[in-house]
Amino acid sequence: MSLLARRATAELVGTAFLVIAVVGSGIMASRLSPNDTGLALLENSVATGAALVALIVALQPVSASFNPVVTLVEKGLGLVDWRTAGALIVAQFVGGLLGTVVANLMFGLDAVALSSHTRMGPGLWLGEVVATVGLLLVVFGTVRSGRADRVAFAVGGYIAAAYWFTSSTSFANPAVTLARTITNTFAGIAPASAPWFVVAQLVGGALGFLLVRFLYPLVASHSSEASGTAAADRKVIS
């Protein structure tokens, strides 16, 4: 199997499991804590952050971005070519949709049910910009400063926290956003709301890219895993 096929498969599987964690824990949380939205969100955020850490640790040696915005920034930094970026992004979107279908079926729901959860407004869009900039800073700041072995814990911790400090509960991922349109559950987002979230994420991606380039113009060469900075960067997640 070619390296690109292995990387695309890792992105598909990783994004699928990430979405299963997001949607599945959202369903479980709403059932366990039906009268306490705050507690349900806590349960959802902890499960998502923990799953992210595990998935990144497991798949980072192959590919573990799980996020089209992260992959686009990797392309902007010269870590992947357009062919690779395109294949990984397609895999991320397909994996996200499959993850939602699996999560819905696990909990006895229809495989596909469009969400009725409207998430609209400038405050929420700003929240997505902030969430995405922060995510990119955590991912690439950790890696480009020579600490790629810690990126899983940095990202998992950031996402768990960003559920709480951003108005949008930090989607910060176009593939996950699209996937969450086909579940009419706690974690869902109405299809009409999703494009605005994606636009905000892309804006955040552009700002995050510029910030990373400014703060970390060079990749550290003193890390414990420094067998090639491009290779280390290329293995990073979101």
CATH number at residue 117: 1.20.1080.10
Question: What is the four-CA torsion angle of 47, 236, 217, 165, rounded to 10 degrees?
Answer: -10
CA end-to-end distance (rounded Å), the chain: 25
In a domain, 105, yes or no: yes
Per residue in 15-52, pLDDT (tens digit) is 999 999 999 999 999 999 999 999 999 999 999 999 99
User: 3-class DSSP state for residue 111?
Assistant: coil
Q: Please count the structural domains in the chain.
A: 1
- In Å, what is the CA distance from 170 to each residue of 55, 110, 125? 18, 26, 10
Helices and strands, number each (H, E), in the chain: 9, 0
At 218 the pLDDT is: 86
- Model confidence at 233: pLDDT above 70: no
Average pLDDT over residues 145-160: 97
Contacts of residues 79-83 at CB distance under 8 Å and 24 or more positions apart, as own/partner, are: 79/230, 79/233, 79/234, 80/234, 83/4
In a domain, 237, yes or no: no
Rounded Cα distance between 90 and 21, Å, is 20
In a domain, 75, yes or no: yes
Is the CA virtual torsion 163, 202, 6, 224 positive or negative? negative
Domain that holds residue 41: 3-222
Average pLDDT over residues 140-148: 95
At 236 the pLDDT is: 41
| Residue 131 burial class via C-beta count within 10 angstroms: exposed 0-12, middle 13-18, buried 19 and up | buried
At 103 the pLDDT is: 98
- Model confidence at 224: pLDDT above 80: no
Rounded Cα distance between 199 and 168, Å, is 14
| Residue 177 burial class via C-beta count within 10 angstroms: exposed 0-12, middle 13-18, buried 19 and up | buried
In a domain, 236, yes or no: no
In a domain, 233, yes or no: no
- Model confidence at 171: pLDDT above 50: yes
In a domain, 58, yes or no: yes
- Model confidence at 223: pLDDT above 60: no
- From the list 176, 147, 146, the residue with the least C-alpha distance to 162 is 176
At 162 the pLDDT is: 98
Mean pLDDT score of the chain: 93
In a domain, 115, yes or no: yes
> Are 6 and 84 a contacting pair, CB within 8 Å?
no
In a domain, 235, yes or no: no
- Model confidence at 232: pLDDT above 80: no
At 43 the pLDDT is: 97
**Residue with token string 């593939």:** 175
At 220 the pLDDT is: 77
At 196 the pLDDT is: 98
- Model confidence at 107: pLDDT above 50: yes
